[in-house]
């Protein structure tokens, strides 16, 4: 357990970050689209069940760049750095000692399949970002994977409560092919915004495009706007 001083510092940092982005986070289409483009009965967040153009799958397809990096837990680390006061490097033990969150959310792949109701367990991205005390000019995040993959999101998206660093899916350790030991999930954005085999969370002062964003995928990636390609 953290000392009182450390805990107080982290709580203060979290409150500051939340206050700074509250309005922006609630205004994004992914959180509360005034006119969501989807089908089916209203579901979580008052959205239709399925974003337009998606079909439900029970299977979980695998998409990667052709390599699945195997990182032994003894060598695994996660770096959180960039535009912040206290860059951090977590090893496996330190990561697992952080507060754990259980959530159930949907997974929407831009290649038109969606998985409903996936049970996840992991650490809130907002928590580790608050811990490094982002500078006031930090506004964007780049997620990096051990395979060299990158994907960018606004800080306001990254700190949503359902954006997690997950190590468990479907009540089992996250399989290598799905990004184990740890990946990011972004339930309110298309799934390419969640880096598998995540190695680094980089805070940025200006937006930079990640791997698919550079190759014509939408920078914003809102499933509820059918916002797939730029």
Query: What letter does residue 229 receive in the DSSP assignment?
Result: B
- Residue 4 CB, nearest distance to ligand MTE (Å)? 37
If binding means CB under 6 A, how many residues of this protein chain bind ligand MTE?
Answer: 18
Q: 197 touches which of ligand MTE, Mo ion, none (CB within 5 to 8 A by kind)?
A: ligand MTE
63 binds ligand MTE per the rule CB under 6 A: yes
The length of the chain is 230
Among 146, 192, 222, 224, binds Mo ion (CB under 5 A): 192
Q: Binding pattern to ligand MTE, positions 7-26, x when CB under 6 A?
A: --------------------
DSSP string, the chain: ---HHHHHHHHHHHHHHHHHHHHHHHHSHHHH-SS--EEEEE-GGG-EEEETT-EE-SS-----SS------TTT-EEEEEESBSS-EEEEHHHHHHSPPEEEEEEEE-TTSEEEEEEEEEEEEHHHHHHHT-B-TT--EEEEEETTS-EEEEEHHHHTSTT-EEEEEETTEEPPGGGTTT-EEE-TTS-GGGS-TTEEEEEEESS----TTGGGTB-SS--GGGT--B-
Residue 194 CB, nearest approach to Mo ion (Å): 10
Exactly one of 82, 145, 154, 210 binds ligand MTE (CB under 6 A); that residue is 145
Q: Which of 139, 167, 196, 228 binds ligand MTE (CB under 6 A)?
A: 196
For Mo ion, which is the closer residue by CB, 84 or 142?
142
Helix/strand/coil for 226: coil
Of 133 and 157, nearer to ligand MTE (C-beta) is: 157
CB of 85 to Mo ion, least distance (A): 34
Neighbours of 13 (CB within 10 A): 20
Smaller CB separation from ligand MTE, 64 or 207: 64
**Which residue, 109 or 230, has its beta carbon nearer to Mo ion?**
109
Which partner in ligand MTE, Mo ion, none is near 67 (CB below 5 to 8 A by kind)? none
Residues that bind ligand MTE (CB under 6 A): 60-65, 109, 145, 147, 149, 178-179, 191-192, 194-197
Residues that bind Mo ion (CB under 5 A): 63, 109-110, 192
């Amino acid at each position: 357990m953290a000392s009182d001083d450390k805990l107080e510092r982290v709580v203060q940092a979290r409150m500051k970050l939340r206050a700074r982005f509250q309005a922006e986070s609630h205004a994004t289409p992914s959180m509360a689209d005034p006119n969501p483009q989807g089908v089916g009965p209203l579901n979580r967040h008052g959205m239709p069940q399925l974003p337009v153009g998606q079909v439900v799958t029970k299977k979980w397809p695998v998409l990667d760049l052709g390599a699945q990096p195997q990182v032994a837990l003894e060598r695994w680390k996660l770096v959180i750095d960039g535009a912040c006061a206290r860059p951090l490097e977590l090893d496996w033990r330190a990561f697992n000692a952080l507060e754990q969150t259980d959530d159930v959310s949907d997974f929407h792949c831009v290649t038109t399949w969606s998985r409903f109701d996936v049970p996840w367990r992991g650490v809130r991205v907002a928590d580790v970002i608050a811990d490094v005390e982002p500078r006031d000019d930090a506004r964007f995040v780049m997620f990096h994977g051990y395979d060299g993959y990158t994907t960018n999101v606004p800080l306001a998206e990254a700190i949503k409560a359902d954006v997690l660093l997950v190590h468990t899916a479907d009540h089992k350790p996250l399989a290598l092919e799905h990004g184990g030991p740890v990946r990011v999930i972004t339930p309110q954005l298309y799934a390419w915004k969640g880096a598998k085999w995540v190695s680094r969370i980089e805070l940025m002062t200006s937006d930079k495009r990640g791997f698919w964003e550079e190759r014509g995928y939408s920078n914003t990636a809102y499933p509820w706007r059918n916002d797939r390609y730029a």
